[in-house]
């Protein structure tokens, strides 16, 4: 199915699946930072470099960007009527979000290596 | 015939009464946009913390300053509201809490819960 309606349904589903992962990770991170906050640079690096945390963070960034894309796309579609302005904003948004994604994944890889 | 297509409009935002659930909805939107806008700054700061000891100390110093703490609490308030309102929407998708009274109660819970978490963060940070 590639009709406009099925695409909208897919976005709706992705928005909710990413929301669940984001919520679980935020809760996990909040508990970690309240209970065992990193005391210095080496402890902080050790936490981010841990394979499990590093992978969970990468997945968090990917979910976050997908979630932000769908959310901001909906906001633009609701308030921007002109198709040309909309397309321009979408293109800009995709560029910015993919930039953020590549940037943060590079940072994560730098710590993991 | 054309005049029949003109419907009465009353969209004076200052005069419309917004039910509490509508306020949760619009704040969910505003907090989502604000969190998105803060994302590049947060990635930049994260990069600083992992770059070297010096960068880490700079960011810790920023979080320790009063403007830094207030900014952080404001962001956490946005996050808490977006988080709680999001859970409320997920529950509504599952047909939980959709009666008029429980929906309104849940909406108030989102507002007070988010404010409470923001105050808790303020207390922990100060």
Report if residue B96 sits inside a domain.
Answer: yes
**pLDDT > 90 fraction of chain A, expressed in percent and rounded:** 89
Segment A32-64, tens digit of pLDDT = 999 999 999 999 999 999 999 999 999 999 999
- How close A81 comes to chain B (CA, Å)? 18
pLDDT mean across residues, chain B: 91
Domains and CATH numbers, chain A: 4-112 (1.20.1300.10)
Report if residue B102 sits inside a domain.
Answer: yes
Report if residue B110 sits inside a domain.
Answer: yes
Q: Do A23 and B83 touch (CB under 8 A)?
A: yes
Report if residue B2 sits inside a domain.
Answer: no
Report if residue B4 sits inside a domain.
Answer: no
| Residues in chain B within 8 Å Cβ distance of A21 | none
- If phi over 0 gives left and psi between -120 and 50 gives alpha, with beta otherwise, what is residue B97? left
Beta-strand ranges (E) seen in A11-107 are none
- How close B39 comes to chain A (CA, Å)? 8
CB proximity list for A99: less than 8 A, separation 6 or greater: none
Q: Is B65 helix (H, G, I), strand (E, B) or coil?
A: coil
State the pTM of this model: 0.90
Segment B69-79, tens digit of pLDDT = 999 999 999 99
Q: Which domain covers residue B76, as residue numbers?
A: 20-34+66-125
A21 with A60: CB under 8 angstroms? yes
| Distance from C-alpha of A9 to C-alpha of B33, rounded to nearest angstrom | 22
| Distance from C-alpha of B32 to C-alpha of A74, rounded to nearest angstrom | 11
A34 interfaces chain B, CB cutoff of 8 Å:
yes
Q: Is the pLDDT score of B93 beyond 60?
A: yes
Q: Do A16 and B46 touch (CB under 8 A)?
A: no
CB proximity list for B36: less than 8 A, separation 6 or greater: A68, A71, A72
Closest CA to A97 of A89, A108, A109: A89
Q: Is the pLDDT score of B1 beyond 70?
A: no
Chain B interface test: which of A76, A104, A106, A111 (most B C-beta within 10 Å): A104
Q: Do A72 and B36 touch (CB under 8 A)?
A: yes
Q: How many residues does chain A have?
A: 113
- Residue A96: CB atoms within 10 A of its CB come to 17
Q: Do B79 and A26 touch (CB under 8 A)?
A: yes
Enter the tokens of residue A29. 């991170």
Closest CA to B106 of B83, B121, B85: B85
| Distance from C-alpha of A51 to C-alpha of B94, rounded to nearest angstrom | 34
At residue A89 the predicted structure's pLDDT band, cuts being 50, 70 and 90, is very high
Q: Which residue of A has its CA nearest to B50?
A: A45
Q: How many domains does chain B have?
A: 1
B43 with A103: CB under 8 angstroms? yes
At residue B57 the predicted structure's pLDDT band, cuts being 50, 70 and 90, is very high
């Amino acid at each position: 199915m590639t009709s406009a309606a099925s695409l909208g349904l897919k976005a709706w589903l992705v928005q909710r699946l990413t929301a669940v992962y984001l919520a679980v990770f935020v809760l996990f991170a909040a508990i970690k930072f309240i209970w065992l906050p990193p005391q210095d640079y080496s402890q902080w690096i050790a936490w981010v470099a841990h394979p499990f945390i590093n992978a969970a963070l990468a997945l968090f960034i990917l979910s976050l960007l997908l979630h932000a894309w769908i959310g901001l796309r909906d906001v633009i579609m609701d308030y921007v009527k002109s198709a040309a302005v909309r397309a321009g904003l979408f293109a800009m948004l995709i560029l910015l979000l993919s930039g953020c994604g590549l940037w943060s994944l590079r940072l994560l890889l730098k710590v993991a290596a | 015939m054309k005049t029949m297509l003109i419907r009465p409009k009353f969209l004076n935002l200052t005069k419309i009464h917004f039910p509490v659930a509508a306020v949760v909805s619009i704040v969910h939107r505003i907090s989502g946009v604000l969190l998105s806008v803060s994302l590049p700054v947060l990635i930049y700061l994260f990069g600083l913390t992992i770059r070297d000891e010096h960068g880490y100390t700079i960011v810790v110093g920023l979080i320790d300053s009063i403007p830094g703490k207030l900014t952080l609490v404001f962001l956490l308030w946005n996050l808490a509201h977006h988080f709680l309102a999001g859970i409320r929407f997920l529950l509504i998708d599952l047909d939980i809490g959709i009666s008029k009274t429980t929906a309104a109660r849940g909406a108030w819970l989102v507002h007070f819960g988010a404010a409470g978490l923001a105050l808790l963060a303020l207390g922990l940070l100060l």
